[in-house]
Structure 1
Amino acid sequence: MKKWLAAASLALVPLVVVASEGGVHLDRAPNKLRDPEALQRGAQTFANYCLSCHGAVSMRYNRLQDLGLSEAQIKSNLMFASEKVGEPMRVAMAAADGKAWFGATPPDLSVIARARGADWLYTYLRTFYRDDSRPTGWNNLVFDKVGMPHVLWELQGQQVPVYETVKNHETGKEEQHLVSLKLEKPGLLTRVAEDGGFDQTDYDTRVADLVNYLVYMGEPAKVKREQIGYAVLLFLLFILVPISYFLKKEYWRDIH
């Protein structure tokens, strides 16, 4: 049961304040696309907590070798729904079961980072909170009335909403507005800070690794393409431009 629940997707943790206009401030997601170890940890979190419900059919397991993982490591630690390392990262759950459990079939996450953005995912995964009015018992600050449960709750703990009473200038009535989230029960990755509060740095790091893997998965060749682009620019600037300049001087020498 824990496995399929762990399938849904993302969850985040720091206190995120709701803007006065109804929008939610998105926290900046750390960029670790050039950190193979962080991407490896993100891939492991994805396989353990997301892949039971969400697939990534545009990504093949053997592509993880680009992150420094051997074929044996991939088979031993990341492959739970496939047999061959060349297969796509397919979802372990049947689409009909997903629709019955969550009200809609969980989407494929191959390009979710390109569709939503890293900051949105980073904030989304850290802003789940308890809401007994929802079928799963969870809601989300970024995605109100989300159908997905908080699959990382054991790592983060349980957050509860903090409300503020605000007077509606149009109706004159007082309304309750959700302004922030408070960690009520710590999780496995929560530490007690020196001031007696909760330090969620470890959980934020785990989420950041997961988000970076989702970004990588949406465009695995991005880093290599950028490296090639920088090399081409350096070649043009320091080699081709000087050669062109001296050729120009040589061709026009007699005229001048």
Structure 2
Amino acid sequence: MLIKKPVITIALSLFFGAALPAAAAGSGASLQAAHNDVSNVASLQRGARNYVNYCLGCHSAKYVRYNRLAKDLGLSEDQVMRNLMFTGERPHDTMSVAMRPDDAAHWFGRTPPDLSLIARSRGADFLYTFLKSFYLDPTRPTGVNNTVLPGASMPHVLWELQGYQKAVYKGESDAEHNAVHKEFAGFELVQKGSLTPQEYDLFVRDTVNFLDYIGEPMQLKRQSLGLKVLGFLAIFFLLAYFLKKEYWKDVK
């Protein structure tokens, strides 16, 4: 189901890859399975809505055209223009941002990256876990941090939906070395959002599903063609095998 107007203004999302170099090496946090399904058209429609309302203010998808969305998501071009197009003027325009690159670089330090291929470079499980792993951290400029990508510059743009949570750690004191070893134990919700945890999970899953789709819109056709090719090769192998036996049956 699509909405008719965007529900929020430009999200102040900086970008996924803007973590400190040391932090970008990874936190070791385990990833949750996204279980996304790009054949689920209803999920892709909801994901497109989520992306337009919460991501497209800062992050473009410059390799995706609106008329391609209409075709793949089972929508008419008129529906796409009324519900999803807020930066383009024609159905064949790409999903660009209204923010000028110079302004973005001035406000954020760097231009937020295009997300057309983010699911292919990071993986759906990474994105799914990342969007669920923001926690309060008063030492960060944005007031939040992320267990999947520590030091990420992106603020928690979905806090109104999820609410705010804090990270809970368990640890042991090492008196000999005067140190405390902490291990991440989970999150604790400290301020509720407008969605329940189950609804927020679905919201994130749909959004990641859409990002996975735009990373390779042809993937379903590619997989279908691949199965047909494998089937053809299997039949060809059997024919070639029996033909070889026929040719060599008198050779000893």
CA–CA separation in structure 2 for the residues paired with 1:169 and 1:69: 64
SS of corresponding position for 1:122: helix
Matches within 5 A, 1:143-182: 143-168=149-174, 171-174=177-180, 178-182=184-188
Match of 2:54 in 1: 49
Check whether the contact 2:36–2:208 (CA below 8 A) recurs between aligned residues. Answer: no
Count of matched residue positions in the alignment of Structure 1 and Structure 2: 236
The percent of aligned pairs where both chains have the same amino acid is 48
Check whether the contact 1:8–1:50 (CA below 8 A) recurs between aligned residues. Answer: no
Matches within 5 A, 1:68-107: 68-107=74-113
Q: Call closer, same or farther: CA 1:9–1:105 in 2, change over 3 Å.
A: closer
SS of corresponding position for 1:4: coil
Q: Call closer, same or farther: CA 1:169–1:23 in 2, change over 3 Å.
A: farther
CA–CA separation in structure 2 for the residues paired with 1:79 and 1:170: 62
Once the two structures are TM-superposed, the CA of residue 241 in structure 1 deviates from its matched residue by 3.8
Equivalent of 2:204, from 195, 203, 207? 207
Match of 1:127 in 2: 133
Check whether the contact 2:135–2:146 (CA below 8 A) recurs between aligned residues. Answer: yes
Q: CA RMSD in A?
A: 2.7
Check whether the contact 2:60–2:97 (CA below 8 A) recurs between aligned residues. Answer: yes
Consecutive aligned runs of 4 or more in structure 1 exceeding 4 Å deviation: 6-10, 175-178, 245-256
SS of corresponding position for 1:104: coil
Q: When the two structures are superposed, what TM-score results if normalisation uses the length of structure 1? A: 0.81
Give 1:201's aligned amino acid: Q
Say if 2:31 is the partner of 1:26.
Answer: yes
Match of 1:235 in 2: 232
SS of corresponding position for 2:10: helix
CA–CA separation in structure 1 for the residues paired with 2:61 and 2:148: 23
Once the two structures are TM-superposed, the CA of residue 250 in structure 1 deviates from its matched residue by 5.7
CA–CA separation in structure 2 for the residues paired with 1:189 and 1:234: 46
Q: Call closer, same or farther: CA 1:95–1:179 in 2, change over 3 Å.
A: farther
Check whether the contact 1:124–1:140 (CA below 8 A) recurs between aligned residues. Answer: yes
Give 1:56's aligned amino acid: A
Give 2:134's aligned amino acid: F
Say if 2:119 is the partner of 1:113.
Answer: yes
Once the two structures are TM-superposed, the CA of residue 54 in structure 1 deviates from its matched residue by 0.5
Equivalent of 2:221, from 216, 220, 224? 224
Match of 2:4 in 1: none
Once the two structures are TM-superposed, the CA of residue 28 in structure 1 deviates from its matched residue by 1.1
- C-alpha deviations, 1:148-202, integer Å up to 9, x for none? 1111111111111223343247732336655421112222221xxxxxxxxx122
Give 2:156's aligned amino acid: H
Once the two structures are TM-superposed, the CA of residue 22 in structure 1 deviates from its matched residue by 5.4
- C-alpha deviations, 1:107-138, integer Å up to 9, x for none? 11111111111111111000011222222222
Match of 1:185 in 2: 191
Q: When the two structures are superposed, what TM-score results if normalisation uses the length of structure 2? A: 0.82
Check whether the contact 2:15–2:153 (CA below 8 A) recurs between aligned residues. Answer: no
Give 1:158's aligned amino acid: Y
Check whether the contact 1:29–1:122 (CA below 8 A) recurs between aligned residues. Answer: yes
Unaligned runs of 5+ in 1: 11-20, 191-199
Check whether the contact 1:163–1:177 (CA below 8 A) recurs between aligned residues. Answer: yes
CA–CA separation in structure 2 for the residues paired with 1:22 and 1:241: 48
Q: Call closer, same or farther: CA 1:45–1:2 in 2, change over 3 Å.
A: closer
Check whether the contact 1:41–1:209 (CA below 8 A) recurs between aligned residues. Answer: yes
Once the two structures are TM-superposed, the CA of residue 224 in structure 1 deviates from its matched residue by 0.6
